[in-house]
Amino acid sequence: MGNSKKTAYIFPGQGAQYVGMGKDLYDNFPQAKAVFEQANQVLGFDLARICFEGPINDLTKSAVCQPAILTHSIAVYQILKTVCAGKSIALDACAGLSLGEYSALVACGSLKFSDAVSLVHKRGQFMDQASLENPGTLACILGIDLEQAKKICEQANVEIANLNCPGQIVISGSFSAMKQAEELAKAAGAKRVIALGVSGPFHSSLMQSAADKLKIELKNVLISKPNVLFIPNVTAAYENDPEQIGQLLTKQVSSTTFWEKSIEVLQKDGINNFIEIGPGKVLRGLLQRINKELNVLNLDKSSDFDVIAGACGCK
């Protein structure tokens, strides 16, 4: 990954969490320990312990897993800055999937970590509350095209939540509507309909009450102009105006996310190297389906930094 190659940092969203996440980073890197301790202090509970020890039921709650994933991602980011300080990895752009946008905004200097971790904790609470008011879920449809999916959504009164990669469309809605959508999708020739293990109908209008509450919180937070290219989910177009970024973060809670299109925009600008920063390898899988030629490195655990150090000549 030399200077001639453009690189984007990408950050995972909700669903990437796992028990034990960040433990080895905390034990091996003082900068990671500092990030987890700051999160504990801001939130007023022991987030690190839940990340390291679980139980998974606690870690899966939106109000916990959202700050957990953000904290893990920023711990990795802070290690990366130190490991490759002054070396050959350049940061040209940032993007994050859903919740991951907050991690991306911290990395590109738009949000302070302390503000971001507080915001996503509240965002998770608001989403959990909205899910109690309007119960529902997400499902992934494989093997039908977008026009077919739109017709199914219209018939079943569900909405397209995520367009993450070719051949994969995620829909959102109430439990009864989602059941009808599944039957319609199978009748239309869908290969599979996979229920996703989430606690609510995210990225749909059923989340509007959460979006309204988040909008109020965002007004109390300073958003600065990003210091590298930043691409939000809901427009898949570069944005550097702080006011617009705040509005898009609000909109994102109850709107479709366009991850595939976002990656295509980055590609067109010559960005072919991506570093997935945070727990899991969800984004790597999506990018390989978008374009197998893309170079994606994952940074999740301590051992991953051996790979990155070699790649950027930091050793």
**What residues act catalytically?**
98, 203
Can you tell me whether residue 300 is helix, strand or coil? Answer: coil
Name the burial class of residue 284, with classes exposed (0-12), middle (13-18) and buried (19+) by CB atoms within 10 angstroms of its CB.
middle
Q: What is the DSSP letter of 88?
A: S
Token representation of residue 183: 């039957």
How crowded is residue 252: how many other Cβ atoms within 10 Å of its Cβ? 23
Asked if 53 contacts 19 with a C-beta cutoff of 8 angstroms, the reply is yes
Asked if 187 contacts 144 with a C-beta cutoff of 8 angstroms, the reply is no
Q: What is the DSSP pairing of strand 136-142 with strand 192-195?
A: antiparallel
How crowded is residue 268: how many other Cβ atoms within 10 Å of its Cβ? 8
Interatomic CA distance for residues 90 and 86, integer angstroms: 9
> Nearest to residue 242, comparing CAs of 46, 71, 95, 111?
111
Q: What are the distances in angstroms from CA 187 to CA 73, 175, 181, 225? A: 40, 19, 10, 48
> Nearest to residue 149, comparing CAs of 285, 300, 141, 91?
141
Q: What is the DSSP pairing of strand 136-142 with strand 93-96?
A: unpaired
